[in-house]
């Protein structure tokens, strides 16, 4: 009896003390501050911007999740500056797109300028909507690095024709350059496509194990030198190479695009790892969320001939 009493008394004291815990653990979570999200890009022939009240990235075409919060029409003012001088006011537009998530056609609203821009310039976009604070973002539009030449090699096996295309580039010296390449290029009228081969210059992007459509890379490993990247395709016996010239492209991009994509892929590759460190997606938007990038493109026509 003497042993039971202290235990019973301890339980009573513990339960009684729990009644006072509310003043320590009862609190109200603060709602996150709502800000504008600006996302889009500037390229040599146009500028596209999408606005929302959350993270909706135009450059990723993630249209299905937050469309209800997209800002459209005359509800916002979006202006563009070139090297600090007013350049153009973007106009609202809308288009119908196929929503592969909802399996319906839906509208996509954005703001656009079709004034040709100047590679080598810095562009700043400002956006205002309602009573929300103004947001802005700045990025650089790089001069496109040309594809100097190409080499092809066709190897005929019994049932398959292997086609290799080598694109030769010269990275400009004394500059920090950033690039991206399409990972896959569909060949017209055949089942196959040209696939970009893995390469050390793609660094730790792990693009070939992800859902990325492009391989981003910097010139950290090739600065100022000649370099070649390889595309490979295999054609079945009854398939033939395109008779017309086949176009390959190399994109020169702003550092903002490179940093954004790198952080996005790190987050994608670590999202199922409970022990990974938190990853913050890169953003260059001031006063809100999102990303504004610049890119230009050089192309070369590859003819396979006979």
What tens digit of pLDDT does each residue of 137-192 get? Answer: 999 999 999 999 999 988 888 778 888 999 999 999 888 999 999 988 888 777 77
* Domain coordinates in residue numbering, the chain: 37-141, 147-282+296-302
Kindly tell me if the per-residue pLDDT of 103 is higher than 50. Answer: yes
Q: Is 5 exposed, middle or buried (0-12, 13-18, 19+ CB in 10 A)?
A: exposed
pTM of the model: 0.80
Dist. CA 261–CA 193, nearest whole Å: 24
CA distances from 273 to 46, 207, 263 (A): 39, 18, 16
State residue 121's pLDDT score: 97
Contact of 169 with 226, CB cutoff 8 Å: yes
Looking at 2.60.40, 1.20.120, 3.40.50, 3.30.420, the CATH number of the domain 37-141 comes to: 2.60.40
Most confident of 112-121, 198-207, 219-228: 112-121
State residue 40's pLDDT score: 94
């Amino acid at each position: 009896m003497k042993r039971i009493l202290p235990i019973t008394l301890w339980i009573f004291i513990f339960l009684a003390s729990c009644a006072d815990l509310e003043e320590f653990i009862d609190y109200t979570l603060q709602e996150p501050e709502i800000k504008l999200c600006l996302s889009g890009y500037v390229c040599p022939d146009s500028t596209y911007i999408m606005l929302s009240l959350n993270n909706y990235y135009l450059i990723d075409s993630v249209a299905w999740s937050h469309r209800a919060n997209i800002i459209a029409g005359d509800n916002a003012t979006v202006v563009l500056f070139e090297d600090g001088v007013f350049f153009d006011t973007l106009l609202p537009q809308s288009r119908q797109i196929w929503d592969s998530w909802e399996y319906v056609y839906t509208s996509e609203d954005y703001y656009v300028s079709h004034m040709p821009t100047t590679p080598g310039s810095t562009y700043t976009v400002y956006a205002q909507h309602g009573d929300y604070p103004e947001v802005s973002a700045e990025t650089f539009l790089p001069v496109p690095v040309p594809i100097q030449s190409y080499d092809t090699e066709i190897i005929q096996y019994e049932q398959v024709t292997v086609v290799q295309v080598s694109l030769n580039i010269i990275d400009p010296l004394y500059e920090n350059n950033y690039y991206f390449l399409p990972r896959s290029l569909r060949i017209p009228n055949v089942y196959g496509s040209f696939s970009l081969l893995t390469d050390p210059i793609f660094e730790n992007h792990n693009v070939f194990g992800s859902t990325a459509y492009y391989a981003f890379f910097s010139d950290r490993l090739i600065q100022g030198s000649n370099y070649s990247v390889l595309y490979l395709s295999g054609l079945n016996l009854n398939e033939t190479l395109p008779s017309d010239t086949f176009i390959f492209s190399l994109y020169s991009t702003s550092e903002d695009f490179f940093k954004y994509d790198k952080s996005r892929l790190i987050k994608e590759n670590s999202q199922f790892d409970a022990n990974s460190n938190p990853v913050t997606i890169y953003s260059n938007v001031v006063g809100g969320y999102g990303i504004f990038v610049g890119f230009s493109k050089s192309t070369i026509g590859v003819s396979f001939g006979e």
